[in-house]
């Protein structure tokens, strides 16, 4: 196993004091944003992007990755104690986690969630270490047609499973693709959509878009009097009993495996896997009626799954250069800014970065486990800092931060414009995630599409005849057609369903 040496060297990278400190900073920030409902990990990473410029690429990504998986731990706390999911991926934890809290067993729920998260995360890192180099080796032969199909599939899958309507998610994705075309065309040198502005000639930077639609958009959206009732439950006895652990062991195991596989899929990620893991446990259970009334498996499974998924969603990013979800798109952007192009060559050409980031997740998960059990009380206190104080600080960090990237006041104006865009999108039910993801993949998609067309001499069937791109396109067709067919079937029995919806509401 000659692949073992660079992996072990990766531990050397992680154990450098600077990297350890940034890993700690990352997971603490992640846990904080997880606890605070509102700003998610994608928005936080967007806001902190400017601060990562001055540091080494591997250190920067270690910190940003820590924010991502740390948020999965933090989100649990508010789900259990306040019945408010701090993160979308902890929505299902609310059902049983809060029921447990009302029975005075909040500590047990949080403890099991932390242990499940730790196991899910760790299982997933081990599997990632084995699988990622294999995938990367396989992907080395990918040419422009394969990348065209892959990027299309990734964007489409994210749009399909995103929150809100599919059509709206596709609009957001197309908007991202269109924004990516602004600036000088790399093939012909023609200026596109620049309106003769010098500031737009080099295209729109990724950071103002991400900071605008995620960061400012979110803050503006929350300005509209979306108050939350804060009455945290008391936390006592965080250590779960042996009986609780035995009861949740199976759920943790199944959740970890399920989360790992769903996390690899583009568009999968933490949210989907936590929902799927909860559904699986409920279906498997001999006593499904306990679910929603304080079943410990209902906390263990989704929490293990969302952590496993958040780790495994690094696989497509680090091996194919295709981000699987909006947060991965942010990390993709951060890598590009650092001058690192994620792709199949990353494992062999930059093993220090690859294994440094992967192995930092072991440390990060250990730190999170250590922090989440004894420090739960502290994080609950942080919840009492009113949003009205955090909002202006976040706004100023965004406005000043975006300036620091290119030292340009134009970028401040841009981030405000995209803040408005993000607000309007959320207001009208358009998920901004696909926009940012598509923007990041936009130039890759266009370039590889045009290269493929030149390669095929304009013969579009060339995509279908190459084995890998053909398979990917078949998948793509399935993703498009399955919902359409299901929609047609559903519209046949629409009337009874409408009645059901009304009684639900």
Q: What residues between 62 and 91 interact with other proteins by CB under 8 A?
A: 79, 83-85, 87-88, 91
Given 20, 336, 420, 464, the residue binding other proteins (CB under 8 A): 420
Residue 174 CB, shortest distance to other proteins, in Å, is 5
Asked if 96 contacts 292 with a C-beta cutoff of 8 angstroms, the reply is yes
- For 26, 94, 269, 403, the CA distances from 298, given in Å and listed in that order, are 28, 9, 19, 45
Residue 12 CB, shortest distance to other proteins, in Å, is 29
d(CA 61, CA 189): 33
Give helix 41-48 / helix 387-406 axis angle, nearest 10°. Answer: 50
Nearer to other proteins, 43 or 127 (CB): 43
Nearer to other proteins, 135 or 412 (CB): 412
From the number of C-beta atoms within 10 Å of its C-beta (0-12, 13-18, 19+), residue 70 rates as buried
- Grouping H, G, I as helix, E, B as strand and the rest as coil, residue 184 is strand
Q: Which of residues 173-232 bind other proteins (CB under 8 A)?
A: 174-175, 177-178, 181, 185, 187-188, 190, 192-193, 216, 218-229
Nearer to other proteins, 138 or 193 (CB): 193
**Total residues in contact with other proteins, by rule CB under 8 A:** 85
Given 419, 441, 444, 473, the residue binding other proteins (CB under 8 A): 419
Report the b/e string of 232-265 with b at 16+ CB within 10 A: bbebeebebeeebbebbbebbbbbbbbbbbbbbb
Q: Which of residues 28-67 bind other proteins (CB under 8 A)?
A: 37-38, 40, 54
d(CA 351, CA 21): 21
Given 339, 458, 467, 496, the residue binding other proteins (CB under 8 A): 458
Q: Which of residues 272-291 bind other proteins (CB under 8 A)?
A: 272, 275-276, 278-279
Residue 61 CB, shortest distance to other proteins, in Å, is 20
Number of helices and strands in the chain (H, E): 24, 2
d(CA 213, CA 209): 6
DSSP-derived letter for residue 121 is: H
Residue 205 CB, shortest distance to other proteins, in Å, is 16
Given 1, 198, 460, 488, the residue binding other proteins (CB under 8 A): 460
The answer to the question of residue 464 lying near other proteins (CB under 8 A) is no
Nearer to other proteins, 102 or 246 (CB): 102
d(CA 399, CA 363): 33
d(CA 47, CA 39): 10
Nearer to other proteins, 2 or 501 (CB): 501
Q: Which of residues 300-359 bind other proteins (CB under 8 A)?
A: none
Nearer to other proteins, 294 or 351 (CB): 294
Nearer to other proteins, 1 or 190 (CB): 190
Residue 236 CB, shortest distance to other proteins, in Å, is 22
Given 12, 377, 429, 487, the residue binding other proteins (CB under 8 A): 429
Nearest to 467 by CA among 39, 27, 143, 183: 143
Q: Which of residues 383-412 bind other proteins (CB under 8 A)?
A: 386-389, 391-393, 395-396, 399-400, 403-404, 407, 409, 412
d(CA 256, CA 365): 14
Q: Which of residues 229-268 bind other proteins (CB under 8 A)?
A: 229
Asked if 33 contacts 39 with a C-beta cutoff of 8 angstroms, the reply is yes
Q: Which of residues 91-120 bind other proteins (CB under 8 A)?
A: 91-92, 94-95
- For 155, 282, 338, 416, 481, the CA distances from 121, given in Å and listed in that order, are 25, 22, 26, 36, 34
């Amino acid at each position: 196993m000659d692949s073992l040496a660079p992996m072990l060297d990766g531990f050397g990278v992680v154990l450098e004091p600077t990297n350890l400190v940034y890993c700690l900073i990352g997971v603490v920030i992640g846990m904080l944003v997880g606890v605070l409902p509102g700003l998610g990990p994608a928005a936080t990473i967007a806001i902190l992007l400017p601060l990562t410029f001055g540091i080494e690429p591997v250190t920067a990504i270690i910190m940003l990755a820590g924010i991502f998986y740390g948020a999965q731990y933090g989100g649990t706390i508010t789900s259990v104690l306040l019945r408010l999911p701090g993160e979308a991926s902890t929505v299902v934890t609310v059902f049983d986690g809060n029921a447990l809290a009302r029975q005075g067993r909040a500590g047990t729920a949080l403890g099991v969630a932390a242990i499940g998260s730790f196991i899910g995360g760790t299982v997933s890192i081990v599997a990632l270490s084995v699988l990622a180099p294999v995938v990367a080796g396989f992907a080395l032969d990918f040419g422009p047609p394969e990348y065209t199909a892959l990027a299309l599939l990734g964007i489409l899958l994210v749009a399909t499973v995103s929150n809100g309507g599919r059509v709206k998610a596709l609009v957001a994705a197309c908007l991202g693709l269109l924004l990516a075309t602004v600036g000088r065309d790399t093939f012909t040198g023609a200026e596109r959509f620049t309106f003769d502005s010098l500031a737009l000639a080099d295209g729109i930077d990724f950071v103002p878009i991400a900071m605008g639609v995620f960061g400012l958009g979110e803050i503006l959206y929350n300005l509209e009097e979306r108050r939350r009732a804060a009455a945290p439950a008391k936390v006592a006895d965080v250590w779960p009993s042996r009986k609780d652990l035995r009861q949740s062991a199976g759920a943790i195991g199944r959740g970890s495996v399920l989360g790992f596989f769903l996390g690899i899929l583009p568009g999968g990620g933490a949210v989907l896997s936590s929902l799927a893991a909860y559904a699986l446990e409920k279906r498997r259970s001999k006593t499904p009626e306990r679910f929603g009334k304080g079943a410990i498996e209902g906390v263990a499974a989704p929490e293990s799954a969302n952590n496993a998924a958040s780790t495994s969603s690094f696989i497509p990013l680090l091996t194919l250069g295709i981000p699987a979800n909006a947060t991965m798109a942010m990390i993709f952007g951060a890598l590009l800014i650092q001058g690192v192009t994620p792709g199949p060559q990353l494992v062999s050409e930059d093993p220090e970065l690859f294994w440094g980031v992967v192995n930092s997740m072991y440390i990060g998960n250990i730190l999170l486990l250590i922090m989440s059990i004894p420090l739960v009380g502290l994080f609950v206190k942080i919840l009492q800092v009113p949003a009205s104080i955090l909002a202006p600080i976040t706004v100023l960090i965004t406005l000043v931060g975006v300036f620091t990237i290119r030292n340009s006041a134009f970028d401040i104006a841009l981030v405000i414009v995209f803040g408005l865009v993000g607000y309007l999108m959320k207001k009208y039910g358009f998920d901004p995630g696909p926009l940012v993801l598509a923007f990041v993949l936009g130039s890759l998609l266009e370039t590889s599409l045009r290269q493929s067309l030149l390669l095929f001499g304009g013969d579009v069937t060339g995509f279908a005849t190459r084995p890998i791109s053909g398979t990917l396109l078949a998948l793509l067709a399935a993703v498009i057609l399955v919902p359409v067919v299901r929609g047609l079937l559903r519209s046949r029995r629409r009337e009874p369903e409408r009645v059901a919806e009304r009684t639900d509401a």
